[in-house]
Chain A
Amino acid sequence: MRKGYVETPIGQVHYREAGEGPPLLLLHQTAWSSIQFRNAMAPLASRGVRAIAIDTPGYGMSDNFDHPPSIIEYATVLSSVMDGLGLTKASIAGHHTGASIGAAFASRNPARVQKLVMHGVPLYTPERRAERLAQPHFDQTPKADGSHLSSRFQRALGTTPKASLEAVHWSTVNFYVAGPTEWYGHHAAFKYDMAADLTAIKSPTLIISNTGDTLHAMMPQIQKMRPDFTYKTIEGGTFHIVFDDGANWANVVADYIVGVA
């Protein structure tokens, strides 16, 4: 695996890359980083995909916005990332907030998106979005007894009790590495009215959902809106499935990007 930075208007964007073949940009959920794809990179590469996992601005090692950005602003940075990587066209696979960024990008830049994969599409109702936006941010203030870390870990495990402890650990680490603006990604996702962009997508699109994901319930509605999309349901899993089951996830994605092996 190789890592690097791309220059963009908001500063440096960090990425991890593996493999050769058709390029596939991987966009993580909030508040992770490209580490989410750690276990999927080599399997994707072995299937002949050039996998490029991006640290969304404000996460991992990427520079941040100076204000809470919108999903569309994240998508605009993605254009600069593609320019910096010399890619006129690529496939995109986004998970949760990453799926929102993928939808916003694909609907605005149809000529630049070969194929789109969205896993866990956060197509919330306006009521649910307003409710989530009203929730207070988690207090990151460090405590000498380390309880700021263990309490976050406990909460993260509580929302996804079937995930591996390793995944919950790395979600906690990524959350604190993102720092006091860790909520930017969720804020953008809950502000984002995805429905219009979903309707406008012209690229061939695969929707992945796993039955153990909190966003699985949104599948029927998406299917109703876009019966022309391809759908794939994975049994079980959590919203850490990309980290916990990277090899299988990579196969599902590669089957769609380069064809069934």
Chain B
Amino acid sequence: MPQSLNYLKETPSQTAGPYVHIGCTPNFAGIKGVYEQDLGASMVNDKTKGERITIRGSVIDGNGMALKDALVEIWQADSDGLYNSPFETRGTADPNFSGWGRSAGEMDTGEFCFHTIKPGVVPFTDGRPMAPHITFWIVARGINLGLHTRMYFPEENTANQADPVLGRVEHKSRVPTLIAQKDGNDYRFDIHLQGELETVFFDI
């Protein structure tokens, strides 16, 4: 027998269940007075640098129905491509931009909505630029392990073509599942859990 590696195992995931909003967005769930505000409800203030954008979308199941009990979180760089994180080593991010948002979705439709800014360019592991993108994390009843994906921008065609992550998608017909659609002044990004339009999810 060789020596033991003695590493610990990551705590296994369990579904967020139907009542994730009690814990993560209690004010939205009607539980008032415990927290002043729901965490992640607001990402920007009037001093935040960068182009203001709004992203809306739905999480859609294998029957084409929008989930009404999902919780969606996003994480992104500021307009200079810096993350508001103690593990950002390249500089200090815009202190007026949190980089992280959380949406419980509309009560009736389940549609999520984020008011944020367009992120700057962040380098890939080998130093090449990645096209501007926003990381999404989706949990809900019936999802056993939170799903990671990314949203890219439709007007960044050249950068998207050169993006090292999009370049890793084997079936090119699936790349559009990672690119938002322009919807007036807003972006629309629907996330399909299954089916022909299934979004590319990441094992990262």
Q: A and B bound? A: no
